[in-house]
Every structure is written in structure tokens, then in C-alpha cells.
Structure 1
Amino acid sequence: MTDAATTEVIEQVHSDNYGVYGVRKMHAELRRQGHRVARRTVARLMRREGLRGISRARGPRTTVPGSGPDTRPDLVDRAFTATGPDQLWVANITYCRTFAGWMYAAVVIDVFSRRVLGWQLSRSLRTDLALDALEMGIWTRRRAGRDVGGLVHHSDKESQYVAVRYTQRLAEAGAVASVGSTGDSYDCEHEGVAAAAV
């Protein structure tokens, strides 16, 4: 079988399987279909055509602890409840795989309504990712005639949330900053690891 003919079969198998097959699965599928081709040839042809599978490898890291001392208290103490809107907001960053690669998603959620008030997507973990989500949340509530002064904004100690610009914006809005532990899985679960909500 020529390279051109093998490439045509590879492209068809790749397409039929939603682009998830890597070299190992592609080679196995070609053998199942009766095509006798070396695994190295499959790898070479897939690389030449830019075809890759989906990896089950763990995604990128989102928890980058801030540097320096942080004196903000944990005002929530894992009690993620509120008796009305705009009493407690929680913020978190997660990631999701797209056809264009990994994307980071920052969200701000009102604990009372479980509503996503602000969100932002980015390919980088810069402070602007979290700050844009916060700005959207503040704008959303002020547009609805709500006062955000006095609300508790809870996050973990990721560098984006302890950044000077983020802290200053919370103070300007009249929100009280609260932080839990860095990357605490319990906190993240209740802070709305909201990949599904974005």
C-alpha cells in the first residue's frame, strides 16, 4: 500500500472516529480493517498530515499560589450559604479542552442564586482573566440596580485573586475579600468549578 493510499485510509478513520484516535489506536484500527502497515509509518503519516488524537493526560495547572503574605481572613469557613443575593460571591478558575487547545475559564458565582454573574475565557492565566470575570459580575449587578457594597467575595489564594489590581478592584466596589486555602478541593467543589456553567 502506498503512502498516499495509507494516508487516505488514515484520514477516513480519523474522521470517522471524531479525531480522537492517536497513533496506537489508529494502528490497531488499520490492522482490524486488514491494512498491513507498520506503526512507525502510521506515526510518520499522521505527523505529516497534522493528525493527532485526544490525550487522557491531566490538564494544565490552574492553581498558582500568590507570593508574599496574605492577611485576608477566611470569612466563609466552608459554609457556602447565603440568605439573599449579593451576600456571597465565589470565584474560581478551571480549564477545558477545546479544538483549539486548552482554555482557562474564570467564573464569579452568586452563592444564593447559583447564577454565573461573570465569566471569561483565555489561553493564559494572567490576572486579567479573573479581573474580567469580576468586572462582568459587578457590571451585571449594577445594571440590575443592585448594590455590591458589603458583599463577601471568596476565592482561594491563587495568584490572580491576590494580585494587587484584583484586590484594589474589590475594594473600589466595596466588596470584602475572603480567601480559603490554595487549591483546596472541597473549596473548589463549592466555589463552583463551573466548566458546565460557562
Structure 2
Amino acid sequence: MCARLGVPRASYYRWLDHEESPTAARHRELTGLVKAMFDSSDGIFGHRMVHTKLSAAGVEISVGTVAAIMAENGWAAKRMRAFKRTTIPSDPDKVFADLIGRDFTSDTPGTKLVGDITYLRTGEGWLYLATVIDLCTRMVVGWAMADHMRASLVTGALAMARDRGHLAPDAIFHSDRGTQYTSREMGAWCTGNRVRQSMGATGAGTMPSPSRRSHP
């Protein structure tokens, strides 16, 4: 090893006999604590948050030391977008009329439903979740998840609601004006399954508040 690295054998033995200084030992200990806290956040915490969490746990360390340790090891916080767009407006000519008029209530299960798409951040990228909620029971009666936001995502959620008996003939399905809901694939699916499409005005929410109405 000494020959390969070009190091005198005497230097190796001096290093072997050298005891670690208290300062070096403390730095090594703190580096391990910083790494553990940084890793526990999946790489999201910056040096200030790591310092805050370590201080709360009783570790005596300055914010400058945390920053230095993270910098020397190349540990940088991941930057997350505060908002990920899931509604892409479609052609106004393809928008359906609002059949519920902001009345997010229903007396009969399976007759009036609402749908939406949200996103979930995972370690392997973004996943998109489409849901169908019955306005009578407030139950999620259908859902589908994929790594894309194509029309098949929302028709998959509706198909689950249909297959589980939660979709009555001529039911109203209310959504936003996103391209998934105004696509030909979505229109064909709804026509073939006797579902009437309804859409809210631009900027109006499609998901009702659970506090509007309660059910046993």
C-alpha cells in the first residue's frame, strides 16, 4: 500500500500510532449527527433546519458548524416546488355546463359525484392521484394512480366507482376544466357509461368541504 501511494513506511507507522485529538473526535461525532439528521429528512433539510432539529434534541452545535460540515461533505438541501400544476385549461368549446350550481349535496348515493387530480412526491418522482367522491356519502368511491396525467387516469378512477356499484345511471360527474376531463377519451367513456359531465367555472373549486354536510 505504501509503495502504491508513494508513502514512506515510517510515515504509515507514525500515523498508525497517532491518537485522534479531542477536536477531531468531536468533529467526527458531529459529522455523524448532522448526516443522520440530514438523511432523516430525505435530503430536504438545509443547514438551518438541521441545526434547529439537532439543538432541539440537545446537541450543542452552532449553525456555522452545521453549515461547514454539510458544505465539506456536499450535502445540499433539495429544492422543492411549492406548487405543481395539475389543471391545464382546455379549449373553451369543449367545456361542459355546470349541472350542480355549487350545490355539493345529494340525497341519493351514486347520483352526484365530483373528481379531481392531486400529486404525490415520492423518492422515484411524482405520482398523480385521481379521485371520485360521492356527494351523498362523502366516500372516495373510485381512485387511480399513475406517473402521468393522461385521460386514462381519470377514467380509471371512474371505472373503479362503476365496478363497485357506486355509479347510478345518468349520474352527474362534476370536475374542473382540465384537459383530462374534456378529452375525447373521457367524453366517450362517460357517454358509454351514461354519465353526465359537469364543470365548474374557472377558478372555482370542484371538491366540497366535508363540513358542508354530515352523514352517519
CA contact 2:47–2:66 (8 Å) conserved in 1: no
Please give the root-mean-square deviation of Cα atoms over the aligned residues, in Å.
3.2
Whole-angstrom distance in 1 between the partners of 2:61 and 2:103: 60
Q: 2:102 aligns with which of 78, 102, 108?
A: 78
Which amino acid in the other structure matches residue 45 of structure 1?
N
Q: Which residue of 1 aligns with 2:61?
A: 34
CA contact 1:59–1:95 (8 Å) conserved in 2: no
Q: Among the aligned pairs, what percent are the same residue?
A: 26
19-28 or 72-81: bigger deviation: 19-28
Q: Which residue of 2 aligns with 1:92?
A: 116
Q: CA offset at residue 73 of structure 1? A: 1.2
CA contact 1:92–1:107 (8 Å) conserved in 2: yes
Q: Which residue of 2 aligns with 1:106?
A: 130
Q: CA offset at residue 116 of structure 1? A: 1.1
Give 3-state SS (helix, strand or coil) of 1:148's partner. Answer: coil
Q: CA offset at residue 163 of structure 1? A: 0.8
Higher relative contact order (CA 8 A, sep 6+): 1
Q: Which residue of 2 aligns with 1:196?
A: none
Q: CA offset at residue 7 of structure 1? A: 4.3
* Structure (1 or 2) with the larger CA radius of gyration: 2
Note closer, same or farther for the CA distance 1:188–1:86 as it changes in structure 2 (3 Å cut). closer
35-44 or 130-139: bigger deviation: 35-44
- Residues 96-149 of structure 1 show CA distances to partners (whole Å, capped at 9, x for unaligned) of 3445444321101111111211101223222222121111111111xxxx7632
Note closer, same or farther for the CA distance 1:22–1:100 as it changes in structure 2 (3 Å cut). farther
TM-score (norm 2): 0.68
Whole-angstrom distance in 1 between the partners of 2:169 and 2:53: 60
Structure 2: tracts of 5 or more residues without a match: 1-23, 211-216
CA contact 2:128–2:148 (8 Å) conserved in 1: yes
- Alignment of structure 1 residues 137-176 onto 2, 5 Å: 137-141=161-165, 148-176=168-196
- The number of equivalent residue pairs is 182
CA contact 2:130–2:154 (8 Å) conserved in 1: yes
CA contact 2:144–2:157 (8 Å) conserved in 1: yes
Structure 1: tracts of 5 or more residues without a match: 193-198
1:184 aligns with 2:204: yes
TM-score (norm 1): 0.74
Which amino acid in the other structure matches residue 25 of structure 1?
M
